[in-house]
Amino acid sequence: MANYTAFTAEHAVDYIKKLTESELSSVFTPNAELSAYEFGDGNLNLVFRVTDQHNNSVILKQALPYARCVGESWPLSLDRARIEADVLINHGSLCPEHTVAILHHNAELALTVLEDLGHLQILRGAQINAEQFPKLASHVAQYLSRTGFYNSDFYLSADDKKAKVSQFINPDLCKITEDLFFTDPYIEHERNHFPAELNSSVQHIRNNNALKLAAAKLKARFLSCPQTLLHGDMHSGSIFVDNNTTKMIDPEFGFFGPVGFDIGSFMGNLLLNYCAQNGRIAELAKRRHYQTHLLTCLQDCYSQFEEQWLNLASNETTDVSFANRAFTEDYLKSVLHDAIGYCGAELIRRTIGLAHVADIDGIENEQARLAVQQQTLVLGEQLMLNATSCENKDEFFTLLISLLN
Ligand SMILES: Nc1ncnc2c1ncn2[C@@H]1O[C@H](COP(=O)(O)OP(=O)(O)O)[C@@H](O)[C@H]1O
Ligand SMILES: CSC[C@H]1O[C@H](OP(=O)(O)O)[C@H](O)[C@@H]1O
């Protein structure tokens, strides 16, 4: 990219100033006095907040030509900014209620201007503090069923689908997921990190051939099952919330992959928080109350996702071959198997792989933290091993409850 330059806060102000009379005229006046600061806390990109004297603001997100959390030794394509913008446009047109609004995109500078969601909270931080969001389950179910269904073969013509699959080819970021989810945790690799006290649990995982087979099958489907346009990184840090609102951000890992991946990742993050609370909330009744809320959220979300997909399939399917209840049920059964497997893989990779979660790493007491890490490893293993034996969602919920007790 000939004109690419990594932005400073000054660049961000100058850039946004030029847009105040065009694309950003509904946010800022032409005489806006702008200031900016960088506050990205994700693994990959720069994120600036640009604010005027009246506290109007936007977010300017820019991709670096490498992974921010590692540095220049891990080069990454700037095309991920284009992918993120295109997913936001696609998902925003199908589910505007739950997709952050995109205000501007510049592919050459690999930057995107977004609505500022600073009045909301990031789900991960809120759940670490045991906060509840009554609409989260139904909002995530609506986002995943609508974006999932309308980008699938149930709805798109074969020509449109192929064009979209090609629009969202995302090799660099898919490779990160392929490595971090399905490969690294099951081998010795310098990217992994975990305390020495977990050595025997990690060896157990690496000696478990059935588990490694399950990981390989999940990876193969991730590589070769272009069912729908995924968000691709549906963890609790990609979701902004309050009591009435849920907004997804950061779909730069988007590509056409297996439907079960996003909902599996989301459920995995609920379960990471569930286990983490064993090391966080000391009072048993309070802890059980919050964990029941998390489990209900997971069950409601999965149930509503499935129900909404079934409804969309009976009303909106365009391909006559797929307008068949038995086919939809069979399809959703394999989505369930994938979702359980990806959920388990998320638990394992967030415990011993490169990218951990603050829910667990932030537990101060070392013994309590280790006990939680042991629990997430066993839970992840059992979900991956038993995924395909669940005939339906109720069997999945029964399995989950038995594993959590
Ligand atoms: N639209 C937004 N509104 C407010 N804050 C945002 C917005 N987008 C990102 N952020 C902030 O920037 C952080 C990193 O953003 P994210 O998109 O997750 O970056 P990365 O791609 O590097 O993971 C978020 O955790 C959040 O604090
Ligand atoms: C080297 S990327 C690791 C990890 O980070 C991503 O999340 P985010 O960019 O939101 O911090 C993604 O989950 C990757 O697996």
User: pLDDT truncated to tens, each residue of the chain (405 aa)?
Assistant: 678 999 999 999 999 999 999 999 999 998 999 999 999 988 899 999 999 999 999 999 999 999 998 899 999 999 999 999 999 999 999 999 999 999 999 999 999 999 999 999 999 999 999 999 999 999 999 999 999 999 999 999 999 999 999 999 999 999 999 999 999 999 999 999 999 999 999 999 999 999 999 999 999 999 999 999 999 999 999 999 999 999 999 999 999 999 999 999 999 999 999 999 999 999 999 999 999 999 999 999 999 999 999 999 999 999 999 999 999 999 999 999 999 999 999 999 999 999 999 999 999 999 999 999 999 999 999 999 999 999 999 999 999 999 999
Going by CA atoms, what residue is nearest to atom 17 of ligand 1? 250
Homologous superfamily (CATH) of 9-115 is Phosphorylase Kinase; domain 1 (3.30.200.20)
Backbone angles phi, psi at 392, to 5 degrees: -160, 175
Would 9-115 and 121-404 be classified into the same CATH topology?
Answer: no
For 109, the token pair is: 């500078």
Q: pLDDT value at position 42?
A: 87
Q: pLDDT value at position 1?
A: 66
Q: According to the CATH classification, is domain 121-404 in 3.90.1200.10?
A: yes
Going by CA atoms, what residue is nearest to atom 11 of ligand 1? 40
Q: pLDDT value at position 93?
A: 98
Side chain identity at 123, as an amino acid letter? Answer: L
How many CB atoms lie under 10 A from the CB of residue 93? 11
Q: pLDDT value at position 294?
A: 98
Q: What residue ranges do the domains of the chain occupy?
A: 9-115, 121-404
Cα separation, 309 vs 294, in Å, equals 22
Whether the predicted model's global pTM rises above the 0.90 cut:
yes
pLDDT tens digits, 34-74: 999 999 988 899 999 999 999 999 999 999 999 998 899 99
Q: pLDDT value at position 105?
A: 98
pLDDT tens digits, 116-142: 999 999 999 999 999 999 999 999 999
Mutate to test the pocket of ligand 1, among 39, 242, 249, 354 (most ligand atoms within 8 A of CB): 249
85: nearest Cα among 170, 18, 17: 170
Going by CA atoms, what residue is nearest to atom 6 of ligand 2? 43
Ligand 1 atom closest to Cα of residue 247:
1
pLDDT tens digits, 186-197: 999 999 999 999
Cα separation, 247 vs 84, in Å, equals 15
CA 41 – ligand 1 centroid, Å:
7
CA 235 – ligand 2 centroid, Å:
9
